[in-house]
Structure 1
């Protein structure tokens, strides 16, 4: 037990001694580390001070260099500005010198102008005196001439003016006649060639229609079925078609009357189907008429498509194609409008090819030139202007639109094909037998033609012959000489062009006949 206690005491004593030794050793080690750290810190502080001094010196050098650079730039800029100021001062001095010279020059010029004014005033006074003297001398001469000739100055002037006017009119007539003859020599040959070739190369069909159609029937029994009980069938047919049906004593025939060819055709075809079917009553009539009207509309479209295909015209709007088809059922002065338009299109194409113009546009304009005549809606516009508006609406070429609108001179011609359309329209309409006019309008046109020529001074008689295509004017031989006769024919033709509407052309012939009569007794 005692040994065990002694051992424990020995161990505790050893531990205490080891602890004190370890503390001392640790303290010494810490002191050693502190010394080292202090030395390191002193070394770092010293290096930092050295580095700071170096940076300070560098910054001073940089600041000094920057200052020197700024100073140099400032001095250079100041030097430039100083030079500019010196130059401006020199320019100002030069301008001042120039202004002084100009002022001196102006003074000299003013003095010279004043002297010239003085001289001019003196000369004006002399000229005024001389003018007064000249007027006095002129008045004396005029009085002497009046006393010698027995005429006043105004009378002499009037005689001189009349003589000069007569001479001028004579020369003008000669010049006009010479110009016309030269134009005829240079242009008539080629124009005739083109027109004749165009007409000869175009095969024209003649189709004359009127306002009535005749529907043939086999017997009067069928006529009674068409009339119906108390006329109900014929009234239903007239109400459905809008055409007038005339049933008279004419055997085996019924007359269909309407100004609209489409209505007449619808009525004719409807009657044909009703007669074939045998069932004729108001309900059946209305059904057949509606069906026929649809078929006619389809036929109109087919006719338009076939026409543009035959003529080789592409890209035409469907509405314009439909209007072209409607031309088949419309006539103008007895001439079928579709045949007329096809003929004009072919003439235009031929003439445009001869003259080197656009053939496609000319043919297109020729086909559409009368499109305004078949427009269904009512309008107060002339058919040429209405056709032009329709062409513009459906995006046709501007040359085509102008040709349509100008073919009756309602608007100014602005394209080269416009006069071609006008000429070909006149060629197609003026062919013998192509058109028929109403008797009253025909007689009135001839009367107006004669009255127009009789209004000219010196005309004694006037006769319209050859269906109004030639006007023969007989003048007073004593008052109208040969030169005035040529001028008179020209003036009459110009007035006819301005004031009258006519197909083709009118030849104006002035006849001057001198008769001397003596009696032997």
Structure 2
């Protein structure tokens, strides 16, 4: 056991020795490396010192070079500045010289102005003296003229003014004749071209509608069946349709009378269906009337849509279309209002195209211009204003609304298309045979024409002729001169335009030794 311990101690000793030797070799190697590093460090220091010395030398050389360049630049800049200063001094000297000359010139001018001012003061005094002399001479001349002429100053002034007034009237009449002649030629040429083109494009035929409808019966016995026992059938029809049924001695016919064309058409269709069916009693009458009313509602909508389709107008509210369709059963002076509205739309569009205006706006406004006629029996107002308010509720453009409301001059025109709608309305209404005029309205128009003519001084008599298309005025030649007659013709025509409504135009003829003619349009 002791030997084993000995061996173990020996082995441990050997291990320690080996470890020490290994560490010594490692330390020696590290020392060698450190020595090498020290050598390299020394070399690096030497090399760095050489680089620093070389850099210092180069820096000194570079600095000297920069210093030399800077000195050269400063020298050149100094030289340039001296040149500029010299030029500025020369320029300043020249300006001072010019200013001195100008001051001298101004001093001379001021002296001259002072002399002229003194002369003007003297002239003003002389002028005032001359004015006084002239005033005295004028007073003397006026006194002498009054003595020679036997007229006072005021009398002479009135005579002169009267003479000037007569000359002015003469010149005015001559100017009116000259300019109106030229204007008439040009106006007639342009108007004929535009209107003939527009009317030709929109030509249509009219069937003058009446305010009554006639229902033909198969025999006179049918009248009794329509009346019914104790009149119950005819009362039922009148109550349901709102139409007066006139049964007289006319053979095989009954007459339906109503201001509302829609109601009249409903009654006409209902009676025709009842006659065809043969069963006529209050229950059946109510059924047939309701059926006819539905058919009419559909026809009204179809008529409105057909008008839009014919004119190519898109995008309109359904209520406006229905109201427009009702115009099919509305007449004005015997003229069908829907047919009239369609023609006005075409004429408006054609007139707008001729002058370069908005054709679509003119067409739309022309179609809708009389839409208020369907509503006017429910509201106390003009159909133009009613129509405009109705269109406003359903979102129509302001330009369309203004054209509708202005076509009878009840509001101001806002667009040229509104004026074209009014013109197209007048053209359509004034066509020969397009409208019928009641006797009372016709006689009233003739009386108004004659009253306007006789209201002027110097008129002896007046006569409305040519169905109210011409007014002939006979004047007193002692009171009205030829020149004044020309002016009177224009004044009469203007008053007719301002105070009356009429289709077409009225010719005003003043009769004296000569005749002066004017047209109210």
Q: TM-score, normalised by structure 1?
A: 0.75
Q: Which residue of 2 aligns with 1:507?
A: 507
CA–CA distance in structure 2, aligned partners of residues 288 and 69 of structure 1: 122
Q: Which residue of 2 aligns with 1:307?
A: 307
Q: Secondary structure at the match of 1:278?
A: coil
**Is the Cα–Cα contact under 8 Å of residues 342 and 367 in structure 2 kept in the other structure?**
yes
Residues 186-335 of structure 1: pairs in structure 2 closer than 5 A: 186-188=186-188, 191=191, 202-210=203-211, 212-215=212-215, 218-224=222-228, 228=232, 233=236, 237=240, 241=241, 243-246=242-245, 256-273=256-273, 276=277, 278=279, 280-281=281-282, 289-310=289-310, 312-315=311-314, 317=316, 319=318, 321-335=321-335
Q: Which residue of 2 aligns with 1:493?
A: 493
- Once the two structures are superposed, what CA deviation does each residue of 1:168-225 show, in whole Å capped at 9, x if it has no partner? 2123213322333344455546755775687678342132222x44556623133227
**Is the Cα–Cα contact under 8 Å of residues 369 and 403 in structure 2 kept in the other structure?**
yes
Q: Which residue of 2 aligns with 1:179?
A: 179
Distance apart, 1:254 and its partner CA: 5.9
**Is the Cα–Cα contact under 8 Å of residues 199 and 347 in structure 1 kept in the other structure?**
yes
- Once the two structures are superposed, what CA deviation does each residue of 1:205-255 show, in whole Å capped at 9, x if it has no partner? 132222x44556623133227954996x45751xxx5x2445666687665
Distance apart, 1:327 and its partner CA: 2.0
Residue correspondences, number: 503
Residues 111-510 of structure 1: pairs in structure 2 closer than 5 A: 111-188=111-188, 191=191, 202-210=203-211, 212-215=212-215, 218-224=222-228, 228=232, 233=236, 237=240, 241=241, 243-246=242-245, 256-273=256-273, 276=277, 278=279, 280-281=281-282, 289-310=289-310, 312-315=311-314, 317=316, 319=318, 321-345=321-345, 361=360, 366-374=366-374, 378=379, 380=381, 383=384, 386=387, 390=391, 407-409=407-409, 410-412=411-413, 415=416, 421-510=421-510
CA–CA distance in structure 2, aligned partners of residues 414 and 11 of structure 1: 129
CA–CA distance in structure 1, aligned partners of residues 173 and 408 of structure 2: 30
**Is the Cα–Cα contact under 8 Å of residues 209 and 335 in structure 2 kept in the other structure?**
yes
**Is the Cα–Cα contact under 8 Å of residues 245 and 254 in structure 1 kept in the other structure?**
no
Q: Secondary structure at the match of 1:219?
A: helix
- Once the two structures are superposed, what CA deviation does each residue of 1:261-294 show, in whole Å capped at 9, x if it has no partner? 2233234334544663837546x76665555444
**Is the Cα–Cα contact under 8 Å of residues 369 and 384 in structure 1 kept in the other structure?**
no
**Is the Cα–Cα contact under 8 Å of residues 462 and 474 in structure 1 kept in the other structure?**
yes
- Once the two structures are superposed, what CA deviation does each residue of 1:64-113 show, in whole Å capped at 9, x if it has no partner? 88899999989999998998888888877777666665555444433332
**Is the Cα–Cα contact under 8 Å of residues 323 and 374 in structure 2 kept in the other structure?**
yes
CA–CA distance in structure 2, aligned partners of residues 440 and 379 of structure 1: 23
Unmatched 5+ stretches in structure 1: 515-521
CA–CA distance in structure 2, aligned partners of residues 196 and 2 of structure 1: 155
**Is the Cα–Cα contact under 8 Å of residues 226 and 234 in structure 1 kept in the other structure?**
no
Q: CA RMSD in A?
A: 5.0
CA–CA distance in structure 2, aligned partners of residues 162 and 9 of structure 1: 169
CA–CA distance in structure 1, aligned partners of residues 394 and 94 of structure 2: 73
CA–CA distance in structure 2, aligned partners of residues 48 and 367 of structure 1: 107
CA–CA distance in structure 2, aligned partners of residues 414 and 12 of structure 1: 127
CA–CA distance in structure 2, aligned partners of residues 185 and 8 of structure 1: 153
**Is the Cα–Cα contact under 8 Å of residues 209 and 331 in structure 1 kept in the other structure?**
yes
Distance apart, 1:36 and its partner CA: 3.0
Q: Secondary structure at the match of 1:266?
A: helix
Greater alpha carbon shift after TM alignment, 266-275 vs 69-78? 69-78
Q: Which residue of 2 aligns with 1:518?
A: none
Q: TM-score, normalised by structure 2?
A: 0.75
Distance apart, 1:450 and its partner CA: 1.6
**Is the Cα–Cα contact under 8 Å of residues 328 and 337 in structure 1 kept in the other structure?**
yes
